[in-house]
Homo-oligomer: A and B are copies of this chain.
Amino acid sequence: MEKIIVEKKVLSENDKLAAEIRTELTSQGILALNFVSSPGSGKTSLLENTLKSIGDKLKIALIAGDVQTENDANRLIAAGGKNVFPLVTGGSCHLDAKMIDKILPKINLDELDLLIIENVGNLVCPSSYDLGEDMKVALISTTEGHDKPLKYPGMFRRSSIMIINKIDLLGTSDFSVDEVKKNARQINANLKFFETSCRTGTGLEMWFHWLLNEIKTKKNRV
């Protein structure tokens, strides 16, 4: 009971701070996306591709969260990321608003178009922590099994986008795109889907197109 009360307090403090971050970013017309998935679903690969293809057209800042190592941050820098901030949690299973709030003063928000937060690879805990993002983007890879939205409903309920990645590996298991979409819609009827392969490039153009459009829409609201 004591643990539950403390957790509720932590979450409500987190939500308050996240709301402040959202207000700040929104006032400057910056789109903020929080990328979540299992370990190894391809978050970093998708972001590498995004930087390489449309990175030159945009001012992007990236916060790369991991329990240990700065491997993802280094990959994003190698892919052309100019404002990459590693965020090593040192054991914590998720990012929280306080961690983002500490990094924000280091980022030049003037004329920034997009803030990308790559969360810790974990389909459970990061779902409970609002980071001030506009949307959570959940990745699922075709090697993981199409029942995952039903088994980890919190994450898919709180996400706006679901990217079905490693589409080139369809056929190597009984994973069905139709089934995963059906399962995900049971949890969240408003999910928007993309089907991508970061290895072959399949579907990435549609993702870039959507992203550029969202950035424009957010800017125009200021």
Contact with B along A149-169 (1 / 0, CB 8 A): 011111000000000001011
A105 within 8 Å of B (CB atoms) = no
| A67, B143: Cβ atoms closer than 8 Å | no
| Neighbouring B residues of A141 by C-beta, 8 Å | 40, 143
> Which residue of chain B lies nearest to A144 when distances are taken between CB atoms in the complex?
B40
The dominant DSSP class at the A interface is loop
Contact with B along A1-35 (1 / 0, CB 8 A): 01100110010000000000000000000000000
Looking at the complex, which one of B68, B144, B150, B172 makes contact with A68 (CB distance below 8 Å)? B150
- Which stretch of A108-116, A121-129, A214-222 is in the interface? A121-129
Q: How large is the interface on A (under 10, 10 to 19, 20 to 34, 35 or more residues)?
A: 35 or more
Contact with B along A89-110 (1 / 0, CB 8 A): 0010100000000000000000
Question: Which of A38, A40, A144, A152 neighbours the largest number of chain B CB atoms within 10 Å of its CB?
Answer: A40
Separation in Å of the A176 CB from the closest CB of chain B? 14
| Neighbouring B residues of A150 by C-beta, 8 Å | 68-69, 71
A134 within 8 Å of B (CB atoms) = no
| Neighbouring B residues of A66 by C-beta, 8 Å | 151
> Which residue of chain B lies nearest to A147 when distances are taken between CB atoms in the complex?
B71
> Which residue of chain B lies nearest to A75 when distances are taken between CB atoms in the complex?
B147
